Amino acid sequence: MTAPVIALVDDDRNILTSVSIALQAEGFVTRLYPDGSSALKALADNPADLGVFDIKMPGMDGLALLSALRASGGASAAMPVIFLTSKDDEQDEAHGLAAGADDYIAKPFSQRLLIARIRAILRRADMSRATAPESDSEATSPVIERGRLRLDPARHQVTWGGRPVTLTVTEFLILETLAQRPGVVKNRNQLLDVAYQEDVFVDDRTIDSHIKRIRRKFRAADPQFDAIETLYGVGYRFSDG
């Protein structure tokens, strides 16, 4: 089994070195980049399995790096990313999620927590990128078609009215959960259970940020998109009507 490759991008050499050593001790392969520009050049053609980006870096910061990767349409467009943010900086966290990050951790951080979150996101990626079965008798995740939505879990592909929509692993799992049962309301905690493992604490308001970003991506393909409904104080539901 090939070891997962983690791209670490931070202008603090001490953080790069210490995190890299910790990850390698857990069986990961690491690639280190001191700035966003060098990371973009390398990752555009040769993506890692997951990226850990510092937000605040000179030159191209983590937000600009992620935006460039997401907009590239290449192999790195859907690469899961964890942002390292300033301590208690809610603006950093909001910007990170809006840019398409899968998670964020505030500095100073526990390497143990970072490793737990990396493992959780990679597990979700494995679930969403399930390979084809070895035999016809093995079950696969069925393609979900709801109105103009077509969602293929095995290939991690989403289209709306035939137009591709690129989602992160977290976004994909949230949308899949809502689309599986149109009209059924899912509260934030239910969506958190799907998107995050139990060993990772995430504020339930994080779901709101993910939903906003999912809507924005679909509205880029169709400005009239309104299939994800908000029931204030209750949760969200998918409407295929």
Beta bridge mates, 85: 106
Q: Determine the Cα angle at 193 with ends 191 and 195, to 5°.
A: 70
Q: Is the whole model's pTM more than 0.85, yes or no?
A: no
Sign of the CA dihedral 114, 116, 119, 123?
negative
Q: How many Å apart are CA 77 and CA 239, to the nearest integer? A: 27
Residue 203 CA to its chain's centroid (Å)? 16
- Per-residue model confidence (pLDDT) at position 198: 54
CB-hemisphere CA count at 13 Å for 103? 27
What Å distances lie between residue 83 and 31, 63, 187, 228, CA to CA?
16, 9, 25, 26
Assigned token pair, 146 = 């709801």
Kindly report the backbone phi and psi dihedral angles of residue 106, in degrees, each rounded to the nearest multiple of 5, phi listed first.
-85, 140
What Å distances lie between residue 132 and 25, 138, 157, 184, CA to CA?
31, 9, 14, 30
- Per-residue model confidence (pLDDT) at position 1: 67
Q: How many Å apart are CA 121 and CA 197, to the nearest integer? A: 8
- Per-residue model confidence (pLDDT) at position 137: 39
- Per-residue model confidence (pLDDT) at position 176: 94
SS (H, E, C) 102-144: CEEEECCCCHHHHHHHHHHHHHHHHHHCCCCCCCCCCCCCCCE
pLDDT in tens, the chain (241 residues): 689 999 999 999 999 999 999 999 999 999 999 999 999 999 988 889 999 999 989 999 999 999 999 888 777 888 999 998 875 556 666 677 777 788 888 888 888 889 988 988 888 777 655 543 443 434 456 899 999 999 998 777 899 999 999 887 788 889 999 999 999 999 998 998 887 655 555 566 778 888 998 999 999 999 999 999 999 989 999 998 6
- Residue in the block written with tokens 């949760």: 235
Kindly report the backbone phi and psi dihedral angles of residue 154, in degrees, each rounded to the nearest multiple of 5, phi listed first.
-65, -30
Non-local (6+) Cβ contacts of 181 within 8 A are: 238
- Per-residue model confidence (pLDDT) at position 44: 85
- Per-residue model confidence (pLDDT) at position 112: 86
- Per-residue model confidence (pLDDT) at position 140: 56
- Per-residue model confidence (pLDDT) at position 228: 97
In this structure, are strands 157-160 and 149-152 parallel, antiparallel, or unpaired? antiparallel
